[in-house]
């Protein structure tokens, strides 16, 4: 998982030459293919991330890498995209969302969907899956009857993080802060105690799929809730406007949208009503 950082990652900034033009080209490609805006303050981060690709391909400069990317776009574009994304996440990140889910929303949905006995949830920009598994744990703990059909879709455009999510294997310290009972119920500790794996019961609830939010979405919805947290912060306002309109189209009326702590919908979408703490209700 790649956290956000502005210092070169495990490389010396003199190792390969990156001109202003190289950086601009990388920013343009990132924006076109992912929506991610790489401003000048991201230059060191970009240097470190792309330097790794240059090294592993045995190339000698950023311009050589960009030429390679152009010629081998089919093979290299996904590595480029995987390098550019920031995947910072954690279990029960922004815990107030899970308290709201547990105390208010799940009891409400249990009544509302009693006829269909279905729940559909989307974790959009799921990174290594810890958001989706946190939702799954909250649902399990709420004790829905076993005949309910509950599915969580977890999507991201970075293929590496999806693989980790699918395996549900994390360093043991990722689960260390969890309540002991929760850890015991939902994680298996490896023999060497260095990693944990999410129990099959929870993994069965989550489907991991590659999806670029800028492209066509194959699923129709409607979802009862959508989590898209700490994703649009990297996009410009125009991209955000289009995206939140599409999210509204994929949520049922009254469905809830959860966004990240430094994101908000003011001036971006009037199809949601804020409920506080970056939780929104779809109104039209």
Ligand X SMILES: C[S@@+](CC[C@H](N)C(=O)[O-])C[C@H]1O[C@@H](n2cnc3c(N)ncnc32)[C@H](O)[C@@H]1O
Residues found near ligand X in the complex (CB under 6 A): 34-36, 85-89, 93, 125-127, 131, 156-158, 161, 212-214, 229-231, 260
End-to-end CA distance of the chain: 36
**Please, how many CA atoms are within 13 Å of residue 25, restricted to the half-sphere of its CB?**
15
In the complex, the smallest distance separating the C-beta of residue 227 from ligand X, rounded to whole angstroms, is 7
> Do the beta carbons of residue 212 and residue 34 sit within 8 Å?
yes
Which residue, 149 or 238, has its beta carbon nearer to ligand X? 238
Full 3-state SS string of 95-128: HHHHHHHHHHHHHHHHHHCCCCCEEEEEEECCCC
Which residue, 43 or 229, has its beta carbon nearer to ligand X? 229
In the complex, the smallest distance separating the C-beta of residue 88 from ligand X, rounded to whole angstroms, is 5
Q: Where are the alpha helices (DSSP H) in the chain?
A: 20-34, 43-57, 62-71, 73-84, 95-100, 106-112, 130-142, 159-167, 180-186, 200-203, 237-250
Which residue, 16 or 231, has its beta carbon nearer to ligand X? 231
> Do the beta carbons of residue 256 and residue 266 sit within 8 Å?
no
In the complex, the smallest distance separating the C-beta of residue 109 from ligand X, rounded to whole angstroms, is 21
> Do the beta carbons of residue 6 and residue 41 sit within 8 Å?
yes
Which residue, 16 or 135, has its beta carbon nearer to ligand X? 135
Which residue, 192 or 215, has its beta carbon nearer to ligand X? 215
d(CA 92, CA 193): 22
In the complex, the smallest distance separating the C-beta of residue 6 from ligand X, rounded to whole angstroms, is 15
In the complex, the smallest distance separating the C-beta of residue 130 from ligand X, rounded to whole angstroms, is 7
Catalytically annotated residues = 49, 156
């Amino acid at each position: 998982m790649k956290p956000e950082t502005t210092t070169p990652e495990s490389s010396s900034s003199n190792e390969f030459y990156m001109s202003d033009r190289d950086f601009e080209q990388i920013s343009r490609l990132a924006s076109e293919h992912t929506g991610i805006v790489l401003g000048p303050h991201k230059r060191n981060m970009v240097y470190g991330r792309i330097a790794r690709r240059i090294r592993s391909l045995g190339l000698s400069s950023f311009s050589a890498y960009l030429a390679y990317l152009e010629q081998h776009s089919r093979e290299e574009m996904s590595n480029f995209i995987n390098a550019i994304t920031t995947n910072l996440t954690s279990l029960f990140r922004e815990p107030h969302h899970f308290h709201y889910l547990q105390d208010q929303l799940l009891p409400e949905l249990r009544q509302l969907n009693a006829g269909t006995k279905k729940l559909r949830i989307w974790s959009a920009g799921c990174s290594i899956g810890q958001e989706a598994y946190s939702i799954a744990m909250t649902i399990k703990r709420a004790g829905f009857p076993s005949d309910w059909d509950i599915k969580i879709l977890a999507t991201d455009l970075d293929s590496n993080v999806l693989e980790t999510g699918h395996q549900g294997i994390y360093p043991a310290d990722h689960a260390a802060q969890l309540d002991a009972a929760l850890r015991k119920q939902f994680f298996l500790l490896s023999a060497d105690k260095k990693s944990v794996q999410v129990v099959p019961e929870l993994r069965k609830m989550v489907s991991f799929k590659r999806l670029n939010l800028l492209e066509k979405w194959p699923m129709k919805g409607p979802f009862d809730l959508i989590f898209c947290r700490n994703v649009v912060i990297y996009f410009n306002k125009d991209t955000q406007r289009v995206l939140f309109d599409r999210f509204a189209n994929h949520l049922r009326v009254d469905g809830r949208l959860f966004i990240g702590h430094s994101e908000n919908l003011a001036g971006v979408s009037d199809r949601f009503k804020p409920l506080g703490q970056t939780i929104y209700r779809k109104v039209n």
